[in-house]
Amino acid sequence: MNCRKILDEQTYDTLVATGYGRYLAQAHLDCPVITEIKAYAAGADFIFPGCRTVLDIGGQDSKVIKVNLGKVEDFEMNDRCAAGTGKFLEVMATTLGYTIDEFGTEALKTSSAASINSMCTVFSESEVVSLIARGENPQSIARGVHQSIVNRIISLMGRVGFEEPIVFGGGVAKNKCMVFLLQKRLGAQTHVSKEPQIVGAVGAALAATKSKKEVRT
């Protein structure tokens, strides 16, 4: 198991697993688990104390978490498909021939966005292909793809009823165009840490220190 190999090379006092593989890790490594929702709330509050809303767009889902003092008050997740997730961006970037890093920066170079109507990853991909075939500017297509995810995220945030300060975490927060468009649509600042993809890991680590203290006392 890959995790074990990585762990063997590290020294640590205690272990907590989070994310979709948490139960798998628990079965092999005999450690406590927490959901990534709790982990993101705790992690975001640690990095940006006082944060009230966490937006996490990861590889296979996106979530909006309402936070108070590092605790989850409410949350919403996208439904079961890849629409509005990092995976969606990745597929579209590949179709346009961009690397993940280029995708956001190229999309920022234009203000015109091609309209992408479908939210389904498969149908959007064919939409992008026909836009390329029609000679549409790749930067505009990239911008349109970003725009369509932002639209989806905005309605998710509306359902929870977000408050500021907002922390944007997960791998997709590294995408500058996503941050720009989100801030524009929300009319609010989103805080992104230096390494947004480890916010959940920080939260899990915080839970680990807490559970360790509980064991000791």
Q: Which residues bind another protein (CB under 8 A)?
A: 20, 23, 34-38, 61, 71-73, 75, 77, 79-80
**What minimum distance in Å lies between the beta carbon of 5 and another protein?**
24
Residues 6+ apart with CB under 8 A from 43: 169, 198, 199, 200, 201, 202, 203, 204, 206
What three-state secondary structure class fits 172? Answer: helix
**What minimum distance in Å lies between the beta carbon of 77 and another protein?**
6
Query: Which one, 53 or 95, has the nearer CB to another protein?
Result: 53
Query: Which one, 109 or 159, has the nearer CB to another protein?
Result: 159
CB 175 within 8 A of CB 99: no
∠ CA 43-21-3, nearest 5°, is 90
**What minimum distance in Å lies between the beta carbon of 160 and another protein?**
12
Which has the closest alpha carbon to 77: 100, 97, 57?
Answer: 57
Q: Say how far apart CA 120 and CA 131 lie, in whole Å.
A: 16
Query: Which one, 75 or 103, has the nearer CB to another protein?
Result: 75
CB 113 within 8 A of CB 99: no
**What minimum distance in Å lies between the beta carbon of 181 and another protein?**
26
**Element of type H or E holding 150:** helix 138-160
Query: Which one, 3 or 72, has the nearer CB to another protein?
Result: 72
Query: Which one, 159 or 184, has the nearer CB to another protein?
Result: 159
**What minimum distance in Å lies between the beta carbon of 93 and another protein?**
24
Amino acid at 110: T
